[in-house]
Chains A and B, each alone.
Chain A
């Protein structure tokens, strides 16, 4: 299952020894540089580590078969096959249950290795359930999905480890072949007339290799070695990438657990978002309308005191001034409350997203070209989120981009609501830059939506919020 709602950014993984710029010379340079990259080194280390780890699987049958065999051998002493069965069956079951535990442990080692050497961070699967009693214990062991997936990985790792061992062989044997011309003179300076056996040099496939008998022959070894070393990073890369895929699939938390984790995260986001919003409303009321009303009450109180007097013209004038001020404060308080109400839920949203977006576009500082194609109305929560996304993105465009025009497009596509806000401004919008995009992405995530940002430096910027039609 695809992970939902992440901020998707176009990131290309660092390429093997390649730098921007095309052409055959660039490709050749990249091929020559490939064996000397840090990535090649780490992948070789991973392959080397895979050899002992991959073959760990062989331990499991021995662990199972060994004690079972011992019990079977002991069985004749009990003089009954029935007793033998009673003795061996539980032992086998016990060891089958242990297999998932061992596989989990090995899986953890693989994950750590992949994280350390390949930068491939795979989340750990949820811990094993604890069963109560013998039946529960057995059930927890046999029904341990992640454990069995880890066991499957271990099983598939066996052929992979062979391939990884081959990749490591290419490196080691290739480097060895490269060295032939350098030491040949040191060891083969025999007197004339003495015939020595030829020295075998490795070929890029397992076997005997080819014999090298003369100094001239060492250059053949050198050439083969060079070819092997040049090919090695690509072979290693291919094998390791297959291993990565397997790792993610089998040693991760699994689709359901991943979904649970996603939901936990988005729920936490939603709760935080709601709390933050309430807090903001409290602040706005406390520092805005409430203080204006308190001031107004104070002014009216003062005015009343003055009017309670003997009708001194000066006091009456002062009272009138105070009433004027109170009147102004009341109007300000009303305006502030209206803004606040619109920030909580814009009343125009009740007429639908199209009307609300039109109102928003009309109030924008830069010209907005709005197209709306929504045959079905999304649920109110989705409409609200879409509206606030559009509001924030329009504000961003006005504030940061220096754009001269903005397009807002809302449409239903494949049963989802697509809201795209684009501008012809400076670009370079970055969720990490504190422009509110990270907050938007979080809010969109709370309903399993996602935010796609395309904003290369120099522009143009296009931010698309994709939301489900119903939350």
Chain B
């Protein structure tokens, strides 16, 4: 299939490894998106976003000059100064603490994925579109870490394996339709699972996918 199904987005990329950056530019261009700028450090990212006002910025965590969490700090700044621009953070390793800082108080228009996920092009494109549209995309690795470290192990044990899958997918930021796609079931079945999970975990019902992500993550972290 020719990948032009997505609504075209305006994207800024910040990634210091030229090889990977060029790959991303090609991938997104071929899917019909417009890459306004592809830069290699945090300050250039802030400037490019201020200049182009893109729908979404793809940001690497480790960039010059410090090569530590440069990209993350730039991403947090973008979240504060340009709430209209979605921020998708990419990294070669995921840190639950970084995810927590990104999601602080608001899960709208934020994503945090392993670079490996780019290999599944369609899924990556979907996550990007979700973040651009104000949704959430959290790496399964992060959700897995949160699930593993959760202190509510007793409650979680009461979930069926299927419900745990659904909970993880909710944590990643997927909508009911997205979860249904991933599990190859109908939306109705997913709705039933979600209701059951909220009941078992005694979570207050949350309207909208973003609030649902926050509710799930807050539950897992508490």
A residues with a Cβ closer than 8 A to B are: 283, 286-287, 290-292, 294-295, 297-302, 304-305, 308-309, 312, 315, 329
Given A294-B118, A309-B2, 20 other A-B contacts at CB below 8 A?
A283-B67, A286-B62, A286-B92, A291-B17, A291-B19, A291-B115, A292-B19, A294-B20, A295-B17, A295-B20, A297-B116, A297-B118, A298-B20, A298-B118, A301-B120, A301-B124, A302-B27, A302-B121, A304-B121, A312-B2
- Please give the distance in Å from B93's CB to the nearest CB on chain A: 8
- Please give the distance in Å from A465's CB to the nearest CB on chain B: 32
Interface residues of B in 23-54 (CB under 8 A from A): 23-24, 26-27, 30
A299 to B23, CA, bound (A): 7
Leading 5 A-B pairs by shortest Cβ distance: A297-B119, A301-B119, A301-B121, A294-B115, A291-B17
Q: Does B1 contact A (CB under 8 A)?
A: yes
- Give a binary string over B120-146; 1 marks a CB under 8 Å from any A CB, 0 the rest: 111010000000000000000000000
- Please give the distance in Å from A279's CB to the nearest CB on chain B: 11
Kindly list chain B residues whose C-beta atoms are within 8 Å of the C-beta of A301.
Answer: 118-121, 124
Find out whether the CB atom of A302 lies under 8 angstroms from the CB atom of B30: yes
A30 to B23, CA, bound (A): 75
Given A295-B23, A309-B1, A315-B2, CB of A290 within 8 Å of CB of B120: no
Kindly list chain A residues whose C-beta atoms are within 8 Å of the C-beta of B26.
Answer: 302
Q: Does B205 contact A (CB under 8 A)?
A: no
Find out whether the CB atom of B92 lies under 8 angstroms from the CB atom of A294: yes
Find out whether the CB atom of B17 lies under 8 angstroms from the CB atom of A300: no
- Please give the distance in Å from A287's CB to the nearest CB on chain B: 7
Find out whether the CB atom of A295 lies under 8 angstroms from the CB atom of B1: no
15 A/B residue pairs, CB under 8 Å, sorted by A? A291-B20, A291-B115, A294-B92, A294-B116, A295-B17, A295-B20, A295-B23, A297-B119, A298-B20, A298-B118, A299-B23, A301-B119, A302-B26, A304-B121, A305-B121
Q: Does B3 contact A (CB under 8 A)?
A: yes
* B contact face: mostly helix, strand, loop, or mixed: helix
Give the residue among B19, B62, B92, B115 with the most A Cβ atoms within 10 A: B19
B residues with a Cβ closer than 8 A to A are: 1-3, 17, 19-20, 23-24, 26-27, 30, 62, 67, 92, 115-116, 118-122, 124
A287 to B122, CA, bound (A): 26
A294 nearest CB neighbor, chain B only = B115
A44 to B115, CA, bound (A): 72
Find out whether the CB atom of B119 lies under 8 angstroms from the CB atom of A300: yes
Find out whether the CB atom of A329 lies under 8 angstroms from the CB atom of B19: yes
Find out whether the CB atom of A298 lies under 8 angstroms from the CB atom of B17: no
Given A291-B19, A291-B20, A329-B19, CB of A298 within 8 Å of CB of B2: no
Find out whether the CB atom of A305 lies under 8 angstroms from the CB atom of B3: yes
Kindly list chain B residues whose C-beta atoms are within 8 Å of the C-beta of A308.
Answer: 1
Kindly list chain B residues whose C-beta atoms are within 8 Å of the C-beta of A299.
Answer: 23
A230 to B92, CA, bound (A): 76
Kindly list chain B residues whose C-beta atoms are within 8 Å of the C-beta of A291.
Answer: 17, 19-20, 92, 115
B17 nearest CB neighbor, chain A only = A291
A315 nearest CB neighbor, chain B only = B2
A305 to B92, CA, bound (A): 23
- Please give the distance in Å from B115's CB to the nearest CB on chain A: 4
B62 nearest CB neighbor, chain A only = A286
B118 nearest CB neighbor, chain A only = A298
Contact of A298 among B1, B23, B62, B67 (CB under 8 A): B23
- Please give the distance in Å from A309's CB to the nearest CB on chain B: 5
Kindly list chain B residues whose C-beta atoms are within 8 Å of the C-beta of A304.
Answer: 121
Kindly list chain A residues whose C-beta atoms are within 8 Å of the C-beta of B115.
Answer: 291, 294
Find out whether the CB atom of B119 lies under 8 angstroms from the CB atom of A290: no
A304 to B30, CA, bound (A): 14
A115 to B122, CA, bound (A): 73
A455 to B85, CA, bound (A): 60
A304 nearest CB neighbor, chain B only = B121
A355 to B213, CA, bound (A): 60
Given A286-B92, A302-B30, A305-B3, CB of A295 within 8 Å of CB of B19: yes
B21 nearest CB neighbor, chain A only = A295
A114 to B12, CA, bound (A): 66
Kindly list chain A residues whose C-beta atoms are within 8 Å of the C-beta of B119.
Answer: 294, 297-298, 300-301
A286 nearest CB neighbor, chain B only = B92
A294 to B91, CA, bound (A): 10
Find out whether the CB atom of B121 lies under 8 angstroms from the CB atom of A298: yes
A305 nearest CB neighbor, chain B only = B121
- Please give the distance in Å from A272's CB to the nearest CB on chain B: 19
Kindly list chain B residues whose C-beta atoms are within 8 Å of the C-beta of A290.
Answer: 92
Find out whether the CB atom of A305 lies under 8 angstroms from the CB atom of B23: no
Give the residue among B30, B115, B121 with the most A Cβ atoms within 10 A: B121
Give the residue among A287, A291, A292, A300 with the most B Cβ atoms within 10 A: A291
Find out whether the CB atom of B27 lies under 8 angstroms from the CB atom of A298: yes
Kindly list chain B residues whose C-beta atoms are within 8 Å of the C-beta of A294.
Answer: 20, 92, 115-116, 118-119
Find out whether the CB atom of B17 lies under 8 angstroms from the CB atom of A287: yes
A300 to B120, CA, bound (A): 9
- Please give the distance in Å from A297's CB to the nearest CB on chain B: 4
A141 to B86, CA, bound (A): 72
- Please give the distance in Å from A311's CB to the nearest CB on chain B: 12
Kindly list chain A residues whose C-beta atoms are within 8 Å of the C-beta of B116.
Answer: 294, 297
Kindly list chain A residues whose C-beta atoms are within 8 Å of the C-beta of B27.
Answer: 298, 302
A308 nearest CB neighbor, chain B only = B1
- Please give the distance in Å from A354's CB to the nearest CB on chain B: 39
Kindly list chain A residues whose C-beta atoms are within 8 Å of the C-beta of B118.
Answer: 294, 297-298, 301
B26 nearest CB neighbor, chain A only = A302
Kindly list chain B residues whose C-beta atoms are within 8 Å of the C-beta of A312.
Answer: 2
A344 to B122, CA, bound (A): 38
B2 nearest CB neighbor, chain A only = A309
A249 to B3, CA, bound (A): 82
Find out whether the CB atom of B122 lies under 8 angstroms from the CB atom of A305: yes
Kindly list chain B residues whose C-beta atoms are within 8 Å of the C-beta of A283.
Answer: 67
- Please give the distance in Å from B34's CB to the nearest CB on chain A: 18
Kindly list chain A residues whose C-beta atoms are within 8 Å of the C-beta of B122.
Answer: 305
A321 to B19, CA, bound (A): 15
Kindly list chain B residues whose C-beta atoms are within 8 Å of the C-beta of A315.
Answer: 2
B3 nearest CB neighbor, chain A only = A305
